[in-house]
């Protein structure tokens, strides 16, 4: 099943074009289903003072321009909160035929933060807290966000009752690695083996974010997608309910459950 939320976030990660009408679908953090639209009256893009100072350089080129932008985003639903986005502005070669250069806008913060999980309502409380922490910093520091997502996996193992420590040969408590905990989870609950494999991949992404500072937003979004699907596999009971309802319909051979062969008089 296509995860439309992650699809939207991946488009946002590519940046915003100069024309506000061409901005991608931005999910609303209040209702999660509505689209946030940029308010043209609130949009400001400014060149930095240090960038302006370079205009006198003999080799100056428009592609040297750097600055920032900010804008208010409003959901189609009037009851939802407004969102403010800020980010970086640069100038580069245009892909359009009518202009040579255009602005490129890279968001670095949304306030309040954009939603990350389709399955957010399935999250145990502590898992959700860590995902929310990742959402706040994803656009400005994806490596730190990956670390928060890794912490969400630890919290998920806590919720599933997977132990954090065991007695070592010395008789002292030894902390289990997340690898150990996931292996235990997979062995104890083989019905969740697929989820355990996905969560192991999330752990590795989190490790890179903690130690190598090599991740970009799309890398973290991949880990978030794995976590999202894992939550659905572990906590979503709709599939089991659907199987039961399908079996009941088959047993009735498609007749409504209120069907009766008796003449109603």
Q: Stretch 96-108: mean pLDDT, rounded? A: 90
Last residue of a domain, one of 100, 115, 130: 115
Residues 110 and 140 in one domain: no
173 and 235, same structural domain?
yes
Whether residue 90 is found in the same domain as residue 178: no
120 and 109 assigned to the same domain: no
Q: Are residues 171 and 242 in the same domain?
A: yes
Asked whether residue 256 is assigned to any structural domain, the reply reads no
Helix (DSSP H) and strand (DSSP E) numbers for the chain: 8, 9
Report which of 118, 148, 154, 124 is spatially closest to residue 135, judged by C-alpha positions. Answer: 148
Q: What residue numbers bound the domain in which 139 lies? A: 116-250
- Helix, coil or strand: residue 64: helix
Of 83, 115, 147, the one marking the end of a domain is: 115
Kindly state whether residues 127 and 84 are assigned to the same domain: no
Higher pLDDT, 244 or 82: 82
pLDDT band at 1 (very low <50, low <70, confident <90, very high): low
Task: Please compute the mean of the pLDDT values over residues 37-47 and round it to a whole number.
Answer: 97
pTM score: 0.87
Domain membership flag for residue 261: no
* Per-residue pLDDT at 2 exceeds 90: no
Q: Based on the domain organization, do 139 and 173 belong to the same domain?
A: yes
pLDDT in tens, 125-137: 999 999 999 999 9
Q: How confident is the model at residue 261 (pLDDT cuts 50, 70, 90)?
A: low
Contact between 74 and 30 under an 8 Å Cβ cutoff? The reply is: no
What is the residue whose two structure tokens read 């990956």? 146
Distance CA 82, CA 20 (A): 17
Would 54 be classed as within a structural domain? yes
Question: Which residue, of 81, 115, 149, is where some domain finishes?
Answer: 115
User: What pLDDT was estimated at residue 238?
Assistant: 79
122 and 244 housed in the same domain: yes
Which residues partner with 45 through β-bridges? 69
């Amino acid at each position: 099943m296509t995860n439309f939320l992650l699809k939207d976030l991946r488009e946002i990660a590519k940046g915003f074009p100069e024309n506000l009408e061409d901005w991608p679908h931005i999910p609303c953090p209040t209702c999660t289903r509505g689209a946030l639209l940029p308010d043209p009256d609130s949009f400001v893009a400014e060149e930095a003072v240090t960038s302006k100072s370079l205009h006198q350089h003999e080799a100056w080129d428009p592609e040297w321009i750097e600055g920032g932008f900010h804008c208010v985003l409003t959901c189609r639903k009037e009851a939802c909160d407004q969102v403010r986005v800020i980010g970086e502005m640069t100038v580069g070669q245009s892909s359009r035929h009518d202009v040579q250069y255009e602005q490129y806008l890279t968001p670095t913060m949304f306030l309040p933060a954009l939603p990350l999980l389709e399955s957010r309502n399935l999250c145990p409380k502590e898992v959700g807290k860590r995902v929310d922490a990742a959402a706040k910093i994803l656009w400005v520091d994806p490596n730190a966000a990956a670390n928060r997502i890794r912490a969400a996996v630890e919290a998920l193992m806590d919720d599933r009752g997977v132990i954090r420590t065991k007695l070592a040969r010395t008789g002292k408590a030894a902390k289990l690695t997340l690898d150990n905990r996931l292996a235990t989870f997979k062995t104890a609950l083989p019905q969740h083996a697929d989820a355990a494999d996905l969560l192991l991949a999330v752990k590795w992404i989190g490790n890179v974010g903690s130690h190598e500072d090599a991740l970009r937003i799309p890398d973290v979004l991949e880990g978030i997608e794995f976590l999202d699907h894992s939550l659905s596999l572990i906590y979503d009971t709709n599939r089991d309910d659907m199987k039961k309802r399908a079996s009941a319909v088959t047993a009735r051979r498609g007749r409504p459950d209120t069907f009766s062969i008796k003449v109603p008089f």
